[in-house]
A and B are shown apart, each in its own frame.
Chain A
Amino acid sequence: MASIQNQLPTTYLRPAKGLAALNLKDLWDYRELIYFLTWRDLKVRYKQTLLGFAWVILQPIINMVVFTLLFGQLLKVPTDGIPYPIFSFAALLPWLYFAGSLTRSSTSLVGSANLISKVFFPRMVIPISGVLSGVVDFVVSLIVLVGMMLFYKIVPSWNLLLLPVFLFLAMLTALGFGLWLSALNVRFRDINYLVPFLIEIWKYATPVIYGSTLIPEKFRFLLGLNPMTGVVEGFRWAILGTKYAQSFEPGPLFAASISITLIVLISGVFFFRKTERTFADII
């Protein structure tokens, strides 16, 4: 009998103290749960809507039309000779992905309160699946992008191959902030009200409706502090190719964005790990 006992996994229960161990192996063991939660998110998101999955395509298109009328036609935002619709759409795609993922992941823990207070699993799977489920929407809306590239006769350059890298950066950014906000939300429900504002303001601080060349050169480094600048300008650079790259070089901006994202992500993981042990008690 003793040999059976030796084969069984042993769990130790002890009070939470000090810096939490990262224990990412836990997360790996529960990778199937990440998959199922992401899949559930997708299955449920457009249930009982009239248009269903069409919303995925409509959202960026409507946004683009409004922006084009307002900023392209009326205010005539400079775009270095690129047609405004595709100029804004290339940036809207990653932005909408980011905004959706951040909203979902930061409210995700509170939305799963009954699970958290009753079942054990690494809590991080919840915000992670919130960030992942947006990727499918993103991929679907790429169809519109292809259509627009054909319409505006934009020849894809080799830059396009780096698109997944920029998407990955957007995911990491959303996850980093999502970890912070979702963990804080468990304790302070104010986050629920804060996030929409945050995203609204963030959108204007990111070159979505304008290009970063609009900002005077000596202040442009400030844009680099915003990790979404790197993502959005990276998308334009990848999609619009050399035509855009002439007036813009992504190098330094991108490096700054990556650094900030990594700082937020790593600190977010630690903060989440440290606080997750009390989630079940205060949620």
Chain B
Amino acid sequence: MTDIAIHVDNLSKKYKLGAMYERQDTLRDLLVSMVRNPFQKRNSSDNQTIWALRDISFDIERGSVVGIVGRNGAGKSTLLKILSRVTDPTGGVGEIHGRVGSLLEVGTGFHPELTGRENIFLNGAILGMKRTEIEKKFDEIVEFSEVAKFIDTPVKRYSSGMYLRLAFAVAAHLEPDILVVDEVLAVGDAEFQRKCLGKMSDVAEQGRTVLFVSHNMSAILRLTEETLVMEKGRIVKRAPSAQAVDYYLSSGFAETGERVWEKDEVPENAAPFVPKALRIKNEQELVTNSIRSTERMQIEFEYELTAPVTGLRIGFYLMSARGEFIFTSFDTDEPRLYQDHSVREAGVYSSRCIIPADTFNEGRFVVGVNASTFRIRRYFQDEYAITFNVDPAGAPGMQWPEQRLGPIRPRLEWIIEKR
């Protein structure tokens, strides 16, 4: 008999749209409808509902590290919420053997007025640690977080990096039997990300179970043995990570060169930013997902602002299919554009960039988008918004039918001289 850490059977979760996107419940509404229609049965069925999870069944063995990938709104976070008992399933059952600890969004439960030391105790207690346990690990936590010097300073004076390190350090020392990690590594510098990943593999080596949700495919590949691919509330594939990531990148997206965001795919906290569509266009300005390496291409992002936004910048992230970053570019990188578009009024916009010919090597590439105001707010982010293929026909060096290393294939000027 194998040792099972998590067993779920036909797990489903239904959300009321009204409850998710906007508060419609006020006492007044209820009273008004009671007066108008006193005998009507009031229940949730007259509201629009969506299934965030549908009939999810799986077992996870003790000591395994399992990745979960899927687009925004695929149900990953809902699944983690149910597993960590934050919310109840609408249908189905599950069994969890052991203590579940979750690595939360940065500093959930931190109080800005309290010092680092005080927050370690508070946050530890929130995550279910006993005080003696925290005291025992206190030095270790401080050392891991690298904020020893500021441990008696209120965390509101911390930089975002320090804040993050401290938050991660507390959660990482929780030593749960099952560790649930939801996209915490999206922030923080590369050095810190390495440290976190290292800590996570330590956890796994100690025979604990790790569930790791991420948009970072290279982290998924490095850290997990097996990955679940989720789509529209279902698990569409479970396979060794390399296979699963490949499946996700190739079939998880429409092959049309266009990604459209439906209303239910946009997180509620994105407002006033509404993403509409992301398109890959070839030199002839046709929307396609296949680009020739020797032709220039365009990436176009269409979005709507429902209110004016100051200092908005739209960023594109180019990644290889293995999740390595190739470059990042923002629409207001250019000082002139930065000045001209310091305030964007409400309306529909498109930000597009032209990538010159002879940029990419053969292969599949991923475009991520991001809408933010520098150091103030991130409105929207989708690291795996769309993929496209690059056909190398006519690219430099095609006379030799061999694989070229590296994601880019620039046409460089060579000089050969006889001396």
B114 within 8 A of A: yes
B354 within 8 A of A: no
Q: Do A13 and B19 touch across chains, with their CB atoms under 8 A apart?
A: no
Q: A13-B93, A32-B125, A33-B125 in contact; A119/B108 too (CB < 8 A)?
A: yes
Q: Do A12 and B94 touch across chains, with their CB atoms under 8 A apart?
A: yes
B 124-153 binary contact with A (CB < 8 Å = 1; else 0)? 011110110000000000000000000000
Q: Do B90 and A15 touch across chains, with their CB atoms under 8 A apart?
A: yes
Report the bound CA distance from A116 to B86 in whole Å. Answer: 7
Identify which of residues 90-124 in chain A touch chain B, using a CB-to-CB cut-off of 8 Å.
114-121
Q: Do B86 and A11 touch across chains, with their CB atoms under 8 A apart?
A: no
B 287-325 binary contact with A (CB < 8 Å = 1; else 0)? 000000000000000000000000000000000000000
Q: Do B87 and A281 touch across chains, with their CB atoms under 8 A apart?
A: yes
Q: A2-B1, A188-B26, A281-B15 in contact; A10/B111 too (CB < 8 A)?
A: no
How big is chain B's contact interface, by range?
35 or more
Report the bound CA distance from A16 to B65 in whole Å. Answer: 30
Report the bound CA distance from A278 to B26 in whole Å. Answer: 17
- A-B Cβ contacts below 8 A, count: 126
Q: Do A43 and B125 touch across chains, with their CB atoms under 8 A apart?
A: no
B81 within 8 A of A: yes
Q: Do B111 and A13 touch across chains, with their CB atoms under 8 A apart?
A: no
Q: Do B83 and A13 touch across chains, with their CB atoms under 8 A apart?
A: yes
Query: Looking at the complex, which of B99-107, B331-339, B366-374 is the stretch in contact with chain A?
Result: B99-107
Q: How far is the CB of A215 from chain B (nearest CB, A)?
A: 32
B 83-125 binary contact with A (CB < 8 Å = 1; else 0)? 1111111111111111110101100110101100010011001
Q: Which residues of A contact B100 (CB under 8 A)?
A: 11, 120
A277 within 8 A of B: yes
Q: Do B84 and A120 touch across chains, with their CB atoms under 8 A apart?
A: yes
A 32-60 binary contact with B (CB < 8 Å = 1; else 0)? 11011100100110011000000000000
A5 within 8 A of B: yes
B25 within 8 A of A: yes
Q: Do A190 and B95 touch across chains, with their CB atoms under 8 A apart?
A: no
A9 within 8 A of B: yes
Q: Which residues of A contact B228 (CB under 8 A)?
A: none
B23 within 8 A of A: yes
Q: Do B125 and A36 touch across chains, with their CB atoms under 8 A apart?
A: yes
Report the bound CA distance from A189 to B127 in whole Å. Answer: 27
Q: Do A40 and B85 touch across chains, with their CB atoms under 8 A apart?
A: no
Q: A40-B122, A118-B105, A188-B27 in contact; A13/B85 too (CB < 8 A)?
A: yes
B 1-36 binary contact with A (CB < 8 Å = 1; else 0)? 101100010010001100100010111101000000
Q: Do B131 and A32 touch across chains, with their CB atoms under 8 A apart?
A: yes
Report the bound CA distance from A48 to B154 in whole Å. Answer: 12
A144 within 8 A of B: no
B177 within 8 A of A: yes
Partner of B126, one of A5, A119, A277: A119
Q: Which residues of A contact B94 (CB under 8 A)?
A: 12-14
Q: Which residues of A contact B97 (CB under 8 A)?
A: 5, 8-10
Give the residue name and chain of the B residue nearest to A2 (CB).
B1
Q: Which residues of A contact B114 (CB under 8 A)?
A: 40, 43-44
Identify which of residues 216-247 in chain A touch chain B, using a CB-to-CB cut-off of 8 Å.
none
Report the bound CA distance from A13 to B11 in whole Å. Answer: 9
Q: How far is the CB of B60 from chain A (nearest CB, A)?
A: 13
Q: Which residues of B contact A21 (CB under 8 A)?
A: none
B200 within 8 A of A: no
Q: Do A115 and B84 touch across chains, with their CB atoms under 8 A apart?
A: no
Partner of A14, one of B81, B93, B125: B93
Partner of A13, one of B4, B15, B96: B96
Q: Do A5 and B3 touch across chains, with their CB atoms under 8 A apart?
A: yes
Q: Which residues of A contact B11 (CB under 8 A)?
A: 13
Q: Do A8 and B98 touch across chains, with their CB atoms under 8 A apart?
A: yes
Interface residues of B (CB under 8 A from A): 1, 3-4, 8, 11, 15-16, 19, 23, 25-28, 30, 62, 81-100, 102, 104-105, 108-109, 111, 113-114, 118, 121-122, 125-128, 130-131, 177
Query: 12 A-B Cβ contacts within 8 A?
Result: A2-B3, A13-B88, A13-B96, A14-B89, A32-B125, A36-B121, A115-B108, A118-B81, A120-B84, A120-B100, A278-B87, A282-B25
Known: A44-B114, A119-B109, A278-B87. 16 other contacts (CB 8 A): A2-B1, A5-B3, A8-B97, A14-B89, A15-B91, A33-B126, A33-B128, A40-B122, A43-B114, A47-B113, A118-B104, A119-B126, A120-B100, A188-B27, A190-B27, A280-B86
Closest 7 CB pairs of A and B: A13-B94, A120-B85, A36-B125, A8-B98, A190-B27, A280-B87, A11-B96
